[in-house]
Amino acid sequence: MSIYPAIRLPFIVSESWRSSMRVDTVPVLMRSRSEAVRFLAKRDLLDEEDGDGRSLWELPAARRLVSKQRRDGSWKYPSHKAFQRAYDTYQTYLTLGDLVEKYSFNRGSDAVRSAVDYIFSSQTDEGDIRGIYGPQYSPNYTAAMTEIAIKAGFAGDPRIEKALDWVFGMRQNDGGWAIPIRTVGMGYYESLSVPGPIQPDRRKRFSHLITGIVLRAFAAHERWRDKEEILKAAGLLVSRFFKSDVYTDRRSPLNWEAVSYPFHWTDILSSLDTVSRLGITSSDRNVKKGLEWMHAMQKPSGYFGMKLLAHAREPDIDEWIVLAASRVFKSLA
């Protein structure tokens, strides 16, 4: 049963984003024990913090992450997998996401440069990053890994352009994205025995799960975010808020309500963040519906009563969600 409120609480778009929330989140964030949360709140919400955040690189949590990086630039996936290198690439992407999103790491860091090199060592001549789905295409993981590299300062890197060109060319006829093997009705394990990548059936409908992930990469890139096709895809994404996906992966509408930070799957928080970067405003009725839901989920403490994804259980995660939600309200409300 959806926790989207049957009776919506009052929500008024205000000139002040802080007064658009049920409770002002700035005091909550300023009391955080995490120096990174406090720094980013001052920088992104109050426009007070100077500098590029390099002071965060020396925080104990950031140093612990970097200390586990291997000589080839990767981080090891914690359990053994049949496609071990692909899953090491996946773990490298996850860890790089923590460094970039939480501690403001960028290409000035040796650890970041070597991690990006490791990830893109799996880039094919076509432009996609392959391996997570064995020999099959993965527009979602290609885009997700590219997004983090863009945010780390690699937007002008030829590998980034090659990846985005490939992802852009993988659109369905309706303008959104889907996992190609799903469009032909094939399961993951069945597809592993197919020697080459299966082409998508572009006549099939888009998946909002995949489209939301893909759009994060385009929204992060200045040259791509204003393209007409990207804005059209954003309209498709918001039209599916709180609805079931058309494919089997994370199909339930309840998945809109399960969040994480850094963003991973497509949920209401990550989607609102994405469309705000693409210039869509709260005048869109679906965007306003998403903001109303987030407004209703805020507790008197200032925190948000959103369900967390299973992997999003690290210390201070509630405050990272508050920070991400506050950015959305500042951009949209």
Query: Does some domain include residue 188?
Result: no
Query: Does some domain include residue 289?
Result: yes
Contact 318, 307 (CB under 8 A): no
Query: Does some domain include residue 24?
Result: yes
List, for residues 15-56, the tens digit of each pLDDT value. 589 999 999 999 999 999 999 999 999 999 999 877 778 999
| Structural domain count of the chain | 1
- For 220-283, the DSSP string reads T-TTTTT-HHHHHHHHHHHTTTTS--SSSTT-SGGGGGEE-SS--S--HHHHHHHHHHTT--TT
pLDDT in the model for residue 6: 35
For the residues 127-155, what does the mean pLDDT come to? 97
124 vs 81: which has the higher pLDDT: 124
- pTM confidence score: 0.93
Q: What angle do CA 128, 131, 137 make, to 5 degrees?
A: 45
Query: Does some domain include residue 110?
Result: no
Contact 280, 234 (CB under 8 A): yes
Range of the domain at 317: 1-31+252-333
pLDDT in the model for residue 49: 75
Query: Does some domain include residue 151?
Result: no
Confidence band of 8 (pLDDT split at 50, 70, 90): very low
Residue 70, token pair as written in the block: 């291997």
Does residue 9 carry a pLDDT above 60?
no
Contact 198, 191 (CB under 8 A): yes
Query: Does some domain include residue 137?
Result: no
For the residues 327-333, what does the mean pLDDT come to? 92
pLDDT in the model for residue 309: 86
169, 190, 198, 199 from 194: Cα distances, Å: 22, 8, 8, 12
How far, in Å, CA of 211 to CA of 219, rounded?
12
List, for residues 249-297, the tens digit of each pLDDT value. 999 999 999 999 999 999 999 999 999 999 998 999 999 999 999 999 9
Does residue 244 carry a pLDDT above 60?
yes
